[in-house]
């Protein structure tokens, strides 16, 4: 786990290299950025420091809580982001807001706050430091979402081409997995839209009209992405239904073959049944070529029926 300490001085963000004890954060710092591989170690870290006792479970298991949660006079916001290893799985960013302190908890090795962007902070450009952090977060996540959506589209297009050119190479499990992946990514982007809307709304009362409009525009950047993912969801559902129809057509053809075979054998079985009866006097029993004649009749009936079914399009 990495902990970085920042303080806003003279309209610039200064990183403090020395370790600051959690009990001194509010007094000495403006922002604490925590990068952790697991949420459990963050919860244990706060537990040792006796911080946010009521909010430990919310920090350790953000997936079980709503976007905005109030604990001990602080607000804990949980916003999902795509996992670095698998874009269809969700990680979480947590933003803890106190009166004069902001704590961000982000996944390990996630560069959501590059130093170059931090150096661009200016009190003249941004109405508040909270607004600045929200601006950076939303900008970087929107950029990453564009990349992730491109990957998702390529995934769907690959399956679509396979369905057109070689449907036998696909399986229902693969299509259902694709549909689930797209649905999960869509949920992540939709939740980001809601979560960041809550984050910026907390600071809205302190903004003037122009700043409110600028911030609202950035939040609305998630809306077209959300709509695009909804269209992609519908497309994956359509592909799954097309695959189901192809499989149904294959099953229908197999049933047709069985039906034709059964139809051919019905008259043959009827004749075999008649001549299989144990009567003494039956016409044709003593014919010299009776057996051969029976075979000729059977084969002729089979050919006639197969020709009939073929002309009627039963083999199409």
Assess whether pLDDT exceeds 60 at residue 1. yes
In this prediction, residues 228-234 reach a mean pLDDT of: 93
Q: Which residue has the higher pLDDT, 271 or 205?
A: 271
Q: What local confidence, expressed as pLDDT, does residue 234 receive?
A: 94
Superfamily, domain 1-108: CorA soluble domain-like (3.30.460.20)
Q: Where in the chain is the domain with CATH 1.20.58?
A: 249-311
Question: What is residue 316's three-state secondary structure?
Answer: coil
In this prediction, residues 202-221 reach a mean pLDDT of: 66
Q: What local confidence, expressed as pLDDT, does residue 161 receive?
A: 93
- Nearest alpha carbon to residue 268 among 222, 309, 306: 306
Assess whether pLDDT exceeds 80 at residue 313. no
Contacts 24+ apart (CB under 8 A), 137-143: 137/79, 137/93, 137/112, 137/196, 138/196, 138/218, 138/219, 138/221, 138/222, 139/218, 140/112, 140/114, 141/81, 141/112, 141/192, 142/218, 142/221, 142/222, 142/225
CA distance 103 to 93: 10
Q: What local confidence, expressed as pLDDT, does residue 238 receive?
A: 93
Assess whether pLDDT exceeds 90 at residue 115. no
Count Cβ neighbours within 10 Å for each residue of 26-64 and write b for 16 or more, e otherwise: eeebbbbbbbbeebeebbebbeeeebbeebbebbbebee
How many angstroms from the chain centroid is the CA of residue 99?
Answer: 36
Q: What local confidence, expressed as pLDDT, does residue 258 receive?
A: 83
- Secondary structure of 168-222 in the HEC alphabet? HHCCHHHHHHHHHHHHHHHHHHHHHHHHHHHHHHHHHHHCCHHHHHHHHHHHHCH
Give tens-digit pLDDT for 185-199: 999 999 998 888 888
Q: Where in the chain is the domain with CATH 3.30.460.20?
A: 1-108
Q: Which residue has the higher pLDDT, 120 or 150?
A: 150
Structure tokens, 116: 């170059």
- Specify which of 94-98, 255-259, 288-292, 293-297 reaches the highest per-range mean pLDDT: 94-98
- CA distances for 230 relative to 137, 167, 182, 204, angstroms: 23, 25, 9, 29
Assign 305 a pLDDT band (cuts: 50, 70, 90): confident
Assess whether pLDDT exceeds 70 at residue 301. yes
CA distance 158 to 204: 44
Assign 205 a pLDDT band (cuts: 50, 70, 90): low
Pick among 3.90.550, 1.20.1300, 1.20.58, 1.10.287: CATH of 249-311: 1.20.58
CA distance 157 to 62: 33
Q: What is the pTM of this model?
A: 0.78
Assess whether pLDDT exceeds 80 at residue 279. no
Give tens-digit pLDDT for 95-106: 998 878 999 999
Backbone angles phi, psi at 203, to 5 degrees: -95, -5
Going by their DSSP bridges, the two strands 31-36 and 102-107 should be labelled as parallel
Q: Which residue has the higher pLDDT, 51 or 167?
A: 167
Give tens-digit pLDDT for 20-57: 998 899 889 999 999 998 889 998 888 888 788 888 88
CA distance 92 to 78: 6
Assess whether pLDDT exceeds 60 at residue 306. yes
């Amino acid at each position: 786990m990495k902990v970085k300490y920042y303080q806003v001085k003279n309209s610039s963000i200064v990183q403090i290299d020395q370790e600051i004890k959690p009990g001194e954060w509010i007094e000495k710092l403006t922002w604490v950025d925590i990068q952790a591989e697991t949420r459990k170690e963050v919860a244990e870290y706060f537990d040792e420091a006796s911080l946010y006792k009521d909010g430990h479970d919310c920090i350790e298991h953000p997936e079980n809580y709503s976007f905005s949660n109030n604990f001990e006079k602080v607000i804990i916001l949980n916003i999902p982001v795509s996992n670095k290893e698998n874009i269809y799985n969700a990680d979480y960013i947590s933003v803890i807001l106190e009166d004069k302190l902001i704590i961000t908890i982000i996944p390990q090795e996630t560069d959501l706050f590059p130093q170059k962007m931090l150096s661009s902070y200016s009190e003249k450009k941004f109405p508040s430091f909270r607004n600045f952090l929200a601006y950076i977060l939303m900008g970087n996540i929107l950029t990453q979402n564009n990349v992730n959506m491109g990957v998702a589209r390529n995934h769907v297009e690959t399956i679509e081409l396979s369905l057109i050119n070689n449907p036998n190479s696909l399986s229902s499990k693969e299509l259902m997995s694709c549909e689930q992946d797209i649905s999960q990514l869509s949920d992540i982007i939709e939740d980001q839209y809601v979560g960041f809307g809550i984050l910026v709304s907390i600071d809205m009362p302190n903004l003037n009209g122009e700043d409110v409009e600028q911030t609202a525009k950035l939040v609305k950047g998630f809306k077209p992405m959300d709509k695009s993912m909804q269209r992609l969801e519908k497309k994956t559902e359509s592909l799954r239904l097309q695959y189901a129809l192809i499989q149904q057509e294959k099953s229908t053809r197999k049933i047709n073959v069985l039906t034709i075979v059964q139809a051919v054998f019905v008259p043959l079985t009827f004749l075999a049944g008649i001549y299989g009866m144990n009567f003494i006097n039956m016409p044709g029993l003593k014919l010299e070529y009776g057996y051969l004649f029976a075979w000729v009749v059977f084969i002729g009936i089979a050919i006639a029926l197969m020709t009939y079914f073929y002309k009627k399009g039963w083999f199409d």
